[in-house]
Copies of this chain bind each other. A is one copy, B any other.
């Protein structure tokens, strides 16, 4: 990775080293990382980040939901800060870039400005949001949601994981329940660098993705109630097997995604079955799915098709099915002013950029509720993410970091 040669430069090797130093944290036997929010592994990530920020002379504060802010003071401290960041938590079977890249790229921006001896009018704050991923505590994008008052802070703190442990308890345990009030303050703007997680940018030949907005996504919870009975003698015609019906619905939801491909996406992500024991027909199933499409009207059609498939399965299998729309996110457009700024800087730096939509959820969606926000994607090799083989090409990463650095600088001087 080489630093950009126009505009303010940064040390690509230093950024890579700071990322590499985290590769072993929460490393799992499959070669990936597992750093679920507020776990011991994620605490290690937090400690590492905070230590590096303090070494770099940044002032670290932690808010009441565990969001971490590392502030590089501006010459006019009363001005609203520019925020730059992402998240340090990961999925359960993850690669090392989804999240930490954006946080450590923020730190590299601060270091690069120091190296260049540049003071900015506005403060710049590097932020790590609590629980972006959501596999342990639902919903995802929790810390940014509380900060932007999209989620209720007390509800967030009371949210429990599958073992019954709350966010508040875990913040106390790992020492990251801070004293700084969560949100409620002016923010000039928010920038987030992230791997794309789709193969489109990687295959496009462009190095910089300028994100114009995010796919709307709808999570569904399907509850199926059949009846227990003996797995042997019960006549086939009299069975009400909730697991078979859940399987039928999982296949139908997958078919909905394929029928709306390539833009539409559907995933059955999980299932819980009761009694889930040999010798007895399962009577209770909870199936969880998410559906996404760039066009909200098309997404609505897809959700209706999934709901219709649930009704058909209920009829076919003699079970009752309740399909609930639970968490939804996305369907946002990023700030046109920031998008124009990013494109201008990309042009000035000679970076090949392309506008695209994010298909995943990101903290930047929540920040739009309180300030102009924008995202930059770097290519993710073959689009593999939430997978131990997630990887990025350091040589192609430099362009997006350079664009973000110079855009943040412009905004911080404005």
Q: Which residues of A contact B (CB under 8 A)?
A: 91-93, 133-136, 138, 140, 196-199, 215, 217, 219, 227-239, 241, 243-244, 246-251, 254, 257-258, 261-262, 264-273, 275-283, 288, 290, 292, 358-361, 383-388
Contact = CB atoms under 8 A, between A and B. Distances in A.
A270 B265 contact: no
A241 B266 CA distance: 11
Contacts of A277: 91-92, 135-136, 269-270
B279 A231 contact: no
A233 B265 contact: yes
B197 A232 contact: yes
A88 to B, nearest CB: 16
Nearest to A132: B279
- What is the total number of copies of this protein in its complex? 2
Question: At the interface, is chain A mostly helix, strand, loop or mixed?
Answer: loop
Contacts of A136: 277
A289 to B, nearest CB: 9
Top 8 nearest A-B pairs (CB, nearest first) are A247-B247, A198-B233, A247-B250, A135-B277, A233-B359, A231-B267, A270-B276, A232-B360
Given A244-B251, A279-B140, A290-B278, A232 B199 contact: no
Contacts of A133: 279
Contacts of A233: 196-198, 265, 358-360, 383, 385
B254 A251 contact: no
A138 B278 CA distance: 8
Contacts of A138: 278
Contact of A236 (B134, B265, B283): B265
Contacts of A93: 228, 275, 280, 283
17 contacts: A91-B228, A93-B275, A93-B283, A134-B278, A134-B279, A135-B279, A199-B235, A215-B232, A229-B386, A229-B387, A230-B385, A232-B265, A236-B261, A236-B265, A269-B278, A272-B276, A279-B361
